[in-house]
């Protein structure tokens, strides 16, 4: 079974950028959707992006225009590039495989993104 783990979070000022990583072990990322989520304390798990096995990408409206996806074949890793960040983007970011699921944010540790005002 393919497992994924996210990393790359940190603290940045408003307007800053971060690159988050979703790295697979036990297989590749090509057989499933790769989905990024974020969750703020006490709030629901929201989809940020989805990459299909065919390489199509979809972004949620609140992040569209400030996000990009790239893929590293050697790891394998999908990178989520976040830019023009604001405090509203502060959340724990998660990645998971498969069809988007509202419980995905509970499946792993996530990586914290904190944007200061």
Which tokens go with 36?
């990024």
**pLDDT at residue number 7:** 98
Residue 112 and residue 9 in contact, taking contact as beta carbons nearer than 8 Å = yes
**pLDDT at residue number 14:** 98
Write the DSSP symbol of residue 32: S
**pLDDT at residue number 74:** 87
Question: Mean pLDDT by 10-residue block, N- to C-terminus, for the chain (117 residues)?
Answer: 95 98 92 95 96 94 95 92 98 94 92 97
What would the DSSP string read from start to end of 50-91?
Answer: EE-TTS-EEE-TTTTTSEEEEEETTTTEEEEEE-S--GGG-E
Question: How far, in Å, CA of 63 to CA of 80, rounded?
Answer: 11
**pLDDT at residue number 52:** 95
């Amino acid at each position: 079974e393919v497992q994924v783990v996210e990393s790359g979070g940190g603290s940045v000022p408003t307007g800053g950028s971060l690159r988050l990583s979703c790295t697979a072990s036990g297989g590749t990322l090509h057989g499933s959707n790769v989905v990024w989520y974020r969750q703020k304390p006490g709030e629901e798990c929201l989809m940020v992006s989805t990459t299909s096995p065919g390489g199509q990408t979809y972004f949620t409206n609140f992040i569209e225009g400030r996000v990009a996806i790239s893929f590293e074949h050697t790891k394998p890793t999908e990178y989520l590039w976040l830019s023009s960040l604001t405090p509203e983007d502060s959340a724990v970011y998660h990645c998971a495989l498969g069809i988007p699921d509202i419980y995905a944010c509970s499946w792993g540790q996530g990586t914290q993104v904190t944007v200061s005002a």
